[in-house]
């Protein structure tokens, strides 16, 4: 036979070559390690023939494998793909997935079937499955990113066209489709939030605004929209926090300031005077200090004055005048017969005992209980006699174990009370009623 005839016959012979787009991953080492030596040799031979485009030969070798082998249906899937039998390839890959759902090479093969048959949504899902286990897969990742970009842009364009024609239902579907491909797309989240706001569905709007806010924490427009929607939904605390952060960025924005004032009223928030912060470090508290401490620490508990505010002539310039009026109207602090309060007068330990007893009485009236830890008749005080005006309130506050005696059994009634001590006494009472 001449060389020419041989070449002609060779050129006419049927040859199978891999489709240009076919990618065959390397065999997973963890799965191969489970195989016997004979199985390993067979499957490596299968993979070699697949890469050479010899689908029929690969199938013949696969037939020697046990059908329970993790590579049996995978190999048939790739062999069918090489031979352009895409329907069979799809079925083989799906069968393989039922047995080995985590195997990357199966998802990769099935994804390629979907790409070849124009089913981009299914291909995208398979790409995503691969990237769950191998985020930097060199063949899948660029194709995933390209398809993600394409499908997101298509969905966004479709959503906007529906929105332009006021078809909100279809626009929502398209925006949600865009988020299926790109859940981090803040533009889609904001667009959906706007649609839900038009439909007065505040909670749905908030779902998307919260995500957009997390995605773009420095975008003031998104933060304002989120804060305002929270305000409309009655979620005042969260709205206040965001508006407060916005105020730091835009201190001259009157709309933000106005909304903050409304929220403060809703939440019962008021600005504490700077003098209040100084109380804790003071060596001796004054009567105006005590009024402020009582008014602020018990504002949610002692919220109803027992009687009308009293006439007091010497508190007009006191920073704590508001609290003085409240505490004197409740009878917790007293006013002198000449209608003076003496706001700057230092509070002694004896006077503190009386104030605390009046406070506990007011709290008892509101239903709170105080237990005497020490029987009053067993309390002995070395430096104050029973006929002293402050003896009874001192005994009572000692019995509650709120104030204590020194080691020598003295109470030291004339010593001033420091700011820290005063706060500790009030905090202890708060702890007893919670």
Per-residue pLDDT of 382-413, as tens digits, reads 999 999 999 999 999 999 999 999 999 999 99
Asked whether residue 386 falls in the same domain as residue 253, the answer is no
Distance CA 275, CA 285 (A): 12
Query: Out of 207-221, 247-261, 292-306, which region has the weakest mean confidence (pLDDT)?
Result: 292-306
Residue 367 has which token pair?
């239903």
Average pLDDT over residues 253-268: 88
Q: Is 331 found in the same domain as 260?
A: no
For residues 16 and 322, give the distance between their C-alpha atoms in angstroms, rounded to a whole number: 93
Flag whether 151 is in a domain: no
Closest CA to 100 of 127, 134, 129, 135: 129
* pTM for this predicted structure: 0.60
Task: Please tell me whether residues 284 and 233 are part of one structural domain.
Answer: no
Is there a single domain that holds both residue 218 and residue 352? no
Q: Which residues pair with 346 in a beta bridge?
A: 286
CB atoms within 10 A of CB 37: 7
173 part of a folded domain = no
Q: Using an 8 Å Cβ cutoff, are 310 and 335 in contact?
A: yes
The last residue of one of the domains, among 102, 117, 138, is 138
Q: Measuring CA to CA, which residue among 204, 208, 165 is closest to residue 186?
A: 208
Same domain, residue pair 348 and 216: no
Same domain flag for 335 and 376: yes
Say if residue 315 is in the same domain as residue 355: yes
Token digits of residue 147: 């398809």
Domain interval for residue 42: 12-138
pLDDT tier at 306, thresholds 50, 70, 90 = low
Is 154 part of any domain? no
Choose among 216, 242, 132, 187: nearest CA to 195: 187
Domain end residue (candidates: 267, 286, 315): 267
Instruction: Provide the H-helix boundaries in 250-348.
Output: 254-267, 274-279, 287-297, 321-329
Question: In this structure, are 233 and 370 located in the same domain?
Answer: no
Q: The CATH number of the domain where 100 resides is what? A: 1.25.40.10
pLDDT score for 21: 64
CB-based burial label for 360 (10 Å; 0-12, 13-18, 19+): buried
Clarify whether residues 188 and 259 are in a common domain: yes
Tokens of 4: 């020419």
Closest CA to 293 of 418, 413, 414: 418
% the chain with pLDDT above 70: 93
**262 and 284 share one domain:** no
- For residue 330, the 8-state DSSP code is T
* Cα gap 54→392, rounded to integer Å: 105
The crossing angle, in degrees rounded to 10, of helices 86-99 and 104-116 is: 150
Q: Which two tokens stand for residue 133?
A: 């286990």
Angle at 52 between CA 15 and CA 66, to 5 degrees: 105
Do 291 and 315 share a structural domain?
Answer: yes
43-101 pLDDT, tens digit per residue, is 999 999 999 999 999 999 999 988 899 899 999 999 999 999 999 999 999 999 998 99
- Please indicate, yes or no, if residue 63 is contained in any of the structural domains: yes
Q: Which of 269, 401, 294 is nearest to 347 (CA)?
A: 294
Residue 300 shares a structural domain with residue 400 = yes
Asked if 325 and 309 count as a contact pair (C-beta separation under 8 A), the reply is yes
pLDDT digits (tens, 9 = 90+) for 131-165: 999 999 999 999 999 999 999 999 999 999 999 99
Is residue 239 included in any domain, yes or no? yes
How far is Cα 295 from Cα 328, in angstroms, rounded to an integer? 11
Distance of CA 51 to the CA centre of its chain: 49
With beta carbons less than 8 A apart as the criterion, state whether 217 and 223 touch. Answer: yes
- Of 229, 245, 267, the residue that ends a domain is 267
The verdict on residue 161 lying in a domain is no
pLDDT bucket at 299, cuts 50 / 70 / 90: confident
**pLDDT value at position 173?**
97
How many domains would you assign to the chain? 3
Average pLDDT, the chain: 90
Please check whether residue 145 lies inside any domain of the structure: no
């Amino acid at each position: 036979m001449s060389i020419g005839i041989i070449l002609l016959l060779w050129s006419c012979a049927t040859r199978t070559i891999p489709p240009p787009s076919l990618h065959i991953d390397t065999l997973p080492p963890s799965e191969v390690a489970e195989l016997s030596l004979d199985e390993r040799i067979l499957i490596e031979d299968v993979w070699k023939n697949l890469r050479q485009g010899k689908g029929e030969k690969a199938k013949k070798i696969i037939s020697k494998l046990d059908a329970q082998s993790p590579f049996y249906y995978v190999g048939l899937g790739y062999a069918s793909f090489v031979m352009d039998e895409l329907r069979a390839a799809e079925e083989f890959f799906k069968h393989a997935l039922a047995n080995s759902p985590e195997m990357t090479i199966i998802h990769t093969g099935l994804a390629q079937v979907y790409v070849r048959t124009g089913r981009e949504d299914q291909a995208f899902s398979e790409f995503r499955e691969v990237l769950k286990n191998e985020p930097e897969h060199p063949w899948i990742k660029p194709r995933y990113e390209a398809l993600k970009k394409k499908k997101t842009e298509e969905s966004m364009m479709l959503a906007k066209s529906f929105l332009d024609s006021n078809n909100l239902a279809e626009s929502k579907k398209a925006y949600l489709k865009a988020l299926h491909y790109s859940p981090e797309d803040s533009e889609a989240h904001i667009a959906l939030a706007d649609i839900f706001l038009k439909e007065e569905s505040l909670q749905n709007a908030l779902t998307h605004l919260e995500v957009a806010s997390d995605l773009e924490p420095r975008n003031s427009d998104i933060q304002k929209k989120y804060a305002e929607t929270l305000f409309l939904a009655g979620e005042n605390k969260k709205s206040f926090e965001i508006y407060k952060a916005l105020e730091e960025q835009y201190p001259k924005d009157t709309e933000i300031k106005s909304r903050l004032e409304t929220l403060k009223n809703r939440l019962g928030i008021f600005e504490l005077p700077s003098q209040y912060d100084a109380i804790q470090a003071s060596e001796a508290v004054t009567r105006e200090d005590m009024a402020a401490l009582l008014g602020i620490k018990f504002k949610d508990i002692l919220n109803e004055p027992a009687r009308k505010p009293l006439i007091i002539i010497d508190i007009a310039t006191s920073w704590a005048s508001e609290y003085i009026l409240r505490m004197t109207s409740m009878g917790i602090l007293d006013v002198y017969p000449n209608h003076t309060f003496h706001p700057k007068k230092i509070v002694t330990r004896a006077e503190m005992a009386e104030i605390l007893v009046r406070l506990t009485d007011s709290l008892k009236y509101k239903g709170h209980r105080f237990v005497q830890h020490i029987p009053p008749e067993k309390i002995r005080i070395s430096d104050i006699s029973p006929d002293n005006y402050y003896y009874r309130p001192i005994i009572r506050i000692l019995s509650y174990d709120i104030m204590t005696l020194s080691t020598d059994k003295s109470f030291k009634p004339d010593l001033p009370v420091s700011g820290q001590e005063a706060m500790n006494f009030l905090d202890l009472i708060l702890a007893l009623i919670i």
